[in-house]
Amino acid sequence: MLRRNIKSTRSFSITASLGKWTEIPLAPPDKILGISEAYNKDSNNKKINLGVGAYRDNFGKPIIFPSVKKAEVLLLEKETEKEYTPIIGSKNFQNLVKNFIFNNSGKDPNGEKLINEGRIVTSQTISGTGSLRVIADFFNRFYSSKKIIVPKPTWANHIAVLKDAGLEPSFYEYYNTSINGLDYEKLIESIKSVDNETIILLHACCHNPTGMDLTNEQWDEVLNIIIEKNLYPMVDMAYQGFSSGDPYKDIEVIRKLNKLVVDGKIKSYSLCQSFAKNMGLYGERTGSISIITESAEQSQSIESQLKKLIRPMYSSPPIHGSKIVETIFSNEELLNQWLTELNEVVGRLNTVRTKLFEKLDGSIYNWDHLNKQRGMFIYTGLSQEQVIKLRNEYSVYATEDGRFSISGVNDDNVDYLADAMNKVIKESK
Amino acid sequence: MTKGSIYSEITPSELDPIAIIAQKYNNDPSPKKVDLSIGVYKPENGDAKYTFPSVKLAKKDIFENDQGHPYHYMSGWPEFIAGAQETVFGKNDKSNVTSIQTISGTGAVHIGIEFLRELGLTEFYVGNPAWGNYESMIKSCNSNVNFFNHYDNETGKADIDSLFKTIDTMPTDGVLLLQGCCHNPTGADYTNEQWEQIAEKVRSRGVFVMFDLAYQGFGSGDKDKDAYGVRHFHKQNLEFIVCESFSKNMGLYGERLGCLHVVSNDKQNLNNISNLLVNIFRAQCSFAPLFGARIASNIFRDFKQQWDEDVYAVYERLSDLRIKIAEKFKKLGTPGNWDSILKQNGLFWFTDLTPQQIDTLINEYHIYLPYNGRFNVAGFNNANLDYVIESIDEVVRK
Ligand SMILES: Cc1ncc(COP(=O)(O)O)c(C=O)c1O
Ligand SMILES: Cc1ncc(COP(=O)(O)O)c(C=O)c1O
CA distance B395 to chain A (A): 32
CB-CB contact of A217 with A186 (8 Å)? no
CA atoms within a 13 Å half-sphere pointing along the CA-CB vector of A418: 20
- pLDDT by residue for chain B (398 residues), tens only, comes to 334 567 766 777 766 778 789 889 999 999 999 999 988 899 998 887 889 999 999 999 998 998 899 998 999 999 999 999 999 999 999 999 999 999 999 999 999 999 999 999 999 999 999 998 999 999 999 999 999 999 998 898 999 999 999 999 999 999 999 999 999 999 999 999 999 999 999 999 999 999 999 999 999 999 999 999 999 999 999 999 999 999 999 999 999 999 999 999 988 889 999 999 999 999 999 999 999 999 999 999 999 999 999 999 999 999 999 999 999 999 999 999 898 999 999 999 999 999 999 999 999 999 999 999 999 999 999 999 999 999 999 999 98
Bridging pattern class, strands B367-368 and A48-49: unpaired
DSSP 8-state code for residue B129: S
Peptide bond into B185 cis (omega under 30): yes
Q: What distance in Å separates the CA atoms of residue B126 and residue B199, rounded to the nearest whole number?
A: 17
| pLDDT band with cut points at 50, 70 and 90 for residue A11 | very low
Q: Does the beta-carbon distance from B103 to A126 stay under 8 Å?
A: yes
Whether a cis peptide bond, with omega within 30° of 0, leads into B129 is yes
Residues pairing with B98 in the sheet: B262
User: Cα–Cα distance between A294 and A261 in angstroms, integer?
Assistant: 9
Cα separations in angstroms, B78 against A82, B72, B234, B307: 24, 9, 22, 20
Residue A7 has pLDDT above 90, yes or no: no
B95: number of Cβ within 10 Å: 8
From residue B279, alpha-carbon distances to A3, A96, B286, B287 in Å are: 9, 33, 9, 11
Cβ burial, residue A9 (10 Å; 0-12/13-18/19+)? exposed
Averaged pLDDT score across all residues of chain A: 91
End-to-end CA distance of chain A: 38
The pairing of beta strand B97-103 with beta strand B123-128: unpaired
Give the residue with greater pLDDT, B141 vs A80.
Answer: B141
| Residues 86 through 105 of chain B touching chain A, CB cutoff 8 Å | 102-104
Lowest mean pLDDT among A210-214, A393-397, B26-30, B38-42: B38-42
CA angle A192, B283, A147 (to 5 degrees): 25
pLDDT in tens, A149-207: 999 999 989 999 999 999 999 999 999 999 999 999 999 999 999 999 999 999 999 99
- Going by their DSSP bridges, the two strands B123-128 and B144-149 should be labelled as parallel
CA–CA dist B304, B179 (Å, integer): 24
Packing angle, helices B290-302 and A319-329, rounded to 10: 120
Burial class (CB in 10 A: 0-12, 13-18, 19+), B370: buried
Query: What's the gap in Å between the CA of B205 and the closest CA on chain A?
Result: 9
Q: How far is CA A353 from CA A102, A238, A372, A407, B240, in A?
A: 30, 20, 10, 9, 52
Ligand 1 centroid distance, CA of A316 (Å): 20
Q: What percent of chain A has pLDDT over 70?
A: 91
Reduced to 3 states (helix: H, G, I; strand: E, B; else coil), residue A49 is strand
Q: How far is it, in rounded angstroms, from Cα B307 to Cα B252?
A: 13
Domains present along chain A, CATH in parentheses: 31-64+336-428 (3.90.1150.10), 84-330 (3.40.640.10)
Complex-level ipTM: 0.92
Q: A269-274 and A286-292: which strand pairing?
A: antiparallel
Q: CB contact, 8 Å: B120 with chain A?
A: yes
Please give the angle made by the CA atoms of B81, B82 and B87, to the nearest 5 degrees: 95
Q: DSSP assignment of B372-393, as one string? A: T-EEEGGG--TTTHHHHHHHHH
Helices A91-102 and A319-329: angle between axes, nearest 10 degrees: 50
Question: Bridge partners of A120?
Answer: A292
Ligand 2 pocket check for B218: Cβ under 6 Å: no
- Name the residue of A129, A131, A174, A273 to mutate for ligand 1: max ligand atoms within 8 A of Cβ: A129
Residue B210's Cα: distance from chain center in Å? Answer: 13
* Residue A316 alpha carbon, nearest atom of ligand 2: 9
* CA torsion, ordered A188, A191, A197, A200, to nearest 10 deg: -100
pLDDT value of residue A33: 66
Q: State whether residue A332 is helix, strand or coil.
A: helix
pTM of the model: 0.93
Residue A234, strand partner residues: A201, A270
pLDDT score for A23: 52
Q: Which of A6, A29, A82 sits opposite B51 (nearest CB)?
A: A82
H-assigned helices in B227-378 = 228-235, 270-282, 290-302, 304-332, 340-343, 355-365
* CB-based contacts of B304, cutoff 8 Å, min separation 6: none
CA–CA separation, B40 and B116 (whole Å): 29
Within 8 A by CB and 6+ apart from B112, the residues are B210, B241, B243, B260
A405 in Cβ contact with A53 (< 8 Å): yes
Confidence of residue A429 (pLDDT cuts 50, 70, 90): confident
Ligand approaching nearest to the C-alpha of B347: 2
Chain A residues in contact with B295 by the CB 8 A cut-off are: 81
Q: How far apart are the first and last CA of chain B?
A: 60
Check residue B11 and give its pLDDT.
77
How far apart (Å, rounded) are the C-alpha atoms in residues A375 and A210? 9
DSSP A178: T
Chain A contact for B59, CB < 8 A? yes
Interface test with A, best of B6, B66, B203 (most A CBs within 10 A): B6
Q: Which residues of A are catalytic?
A: 155, 236, 277
Q: How far is CA A299 from the centre of its chain?
A: 25
Average pLDDT over residues A49-75: 91
pLDDT band of residue A81 (cuts 50, 70, 90) is low
CA distance B20 to B16: 6
Of B107, B265, B290, the CB nearest to A314: B107
Contact A68, A280 (CB under 8 A): yes
| pLDDT tier at A24, thresholds 50, 70, 90 | low
Q: How many residues does chain B have?
A: 398
pLDDT for residue B8: 64
Using the mean position of ligand 1's atoms as its centre, give its distance from the Cα of residue A195 in Å. Answer: 27
Q: Are strands B240-245 and B257-263 parallel, antiparallel or unpaired?
A: antiparallel
Rounded average pLDDT over A13-28: 43
Q: What is the C-alpha to C-alpha distance for residues A382 and A178, in angstroms, rounded to an integer?
A: 10
In this predicted structure, what is the pLDDT of residue A53?
Answer: 82
Q: Is B107 helix (H, G, I), strand (E, B) or coil?
A: helix
Chain B touched by A20 (CB under 8 Å): yes
Query: What is the rounded average pLDDT of the residues A270-276?
Result: 98
Residue B278 near residue A27, CB atoms below 8 Å: yes
Collapsing DSSP to helix, strand or coil, B343 comes out as helix
